[in-house]
Amino acid sequence: MEKIILEHFQNRKQEEETVPKNIPEIVSNTVVDKFFLEVYSLTIFTVRFFKEVFKPPYEFNELMKQSFLIGYKSLSLVAVTSFIIGLVLTVQSRPTLAKFGAESLLPVMVAISIIREIGPVITALIFAGKVGSGIGAELASMNVTEQIDAMQVSHTNPFKYLVVTRVLSATLMLPILVAFSDAVGLFGSYIAVNLKGNVSSYLFYSQIFQSLEFKDLFPAFIKTFFFGFAIGLIGCYKGYNSNKGTEGVGKAANSAVVFASLMVFIIDMIAVQITSLMQN
């Protein structure tokens, strides 16, 4: 028995001696380890963001410019999609509620669905597609054409100027876009209700506001900050660390959308769990 154990340890010692020195390169050969290396570098990137965000000088003008581009320029897309979703959701829900004679609950049901879940998640996904990919592609292309290096040579901290401003803008603009999206979605629902009925706007909205509670609004609003932060951060991370070459630009834009959309669902799942725990 002792001999077997001794042989085992001798074999292990030999294995350890044959492990090459450059471990990260070898480790990165497997998909799982590549994933963990990615998580590690994203964590370093996030820590750097929090270090830089409080350090002067503050790029206020660039923050305003990015907020305009990220927020204001997304309004029309958000308005169209939210209106359609509010309208479709109402039209689709009506027959089911009619079966139970609960048609009068239609505005309340649609409002809670939109405000609690559909509004934030759909808007965040659209935001990830438009803004996340845009940031990823823009920074990657700046990387390829040496604009980030040029910024550094011009004595500007490119991380602060490009990353911090974009992440902050995305974090602050998404909640506003979600509030706007909710309002437009409810308006779409009001139109849909009136397609097969005659409900006054006063009745429609008073029914909604009477049934809504703080616990419906607050968690839904808070989670949108996290959605915006994740989308901005991932877009910047993918773009800023892209490979040189035009292929890197496409990859950065694509992976920014995929990864950011996935993060939206993960954050949503965590937010729902926390909210339900707090309500129990």
Partner 1 sequence: MTIETSTIETKDDNKQTSSVVVEMQHLKKSFGDKEVLLDINLVMNKGENLVILGKSGTGKSVLIKCIVGLMEIDDGKLLLFGQDISELKAKELTELHRKIGFLFQSGALYDSMTVRENLEFPLRRQVTKVSKKEMDELVKEALENVGLSDTIDMTPSELSGGMRKRLGLARTLILKPEIMLYDEPSTGLDPITSKEISNLILEVQKKYHTSSIIITHDRECAKLTANRIIVIKDGVCAAEGSYAELVKSEDPWVRSFFE
Q: Which stretch binds partner 1 (CB under 8 A): 4-12, 97-105, 141-149, 252-260?
A: 141-149
Residue 154 lies near partner 1 (rule: CB under 8 A) = yes
79 vs 131, which CB is nearer to partner 1?
131
- C-alpha 266/C-alpha 240 separation (Å) is 23
Residue 41 lies near partner 1 (rule: CB under 8 A) = no
* Closest to 162 in 3D by CA, of 77, 256, 238: 238
Q: Tokens at residue 226, please?
A: 């996290």
Binding residue for partner 1 (CB under 8 A) from 1, 31, 32, 153? 153
Binding residue for partner 1 (CB under 8 A) from 7, 33, 146, 247? 146
- R_g of the chain, CA atoms, integer Å: 25
* Closest to 123 in 3D by CA, of 165, 164, 180: 180
Shortest reach from residue 98's CB to partner 1, in Å: 53
State whether residue 265 is helix, strand or coil. helix
Q: DSSP string of 97-163?
A: HHHTT-GGGHHHHHHHHIIIIIHHHHHHHHHIIIIIHHHHHHHHHHHHTTHHHHHHHTT--HIIIII
Site map (CB under 8 A) of partner 1, residues 221-250, x = contact: ------------------------------
Residue 145 lies near partner 1 (rule: CB under 8 A) = yes
Shortest reach from residue 274's CB to partner 1, in Å: 39
- The residue ranges that bind partner 1 (CB under 8 A) are 22, 25, 138, 141-142, 145-147, 149-156
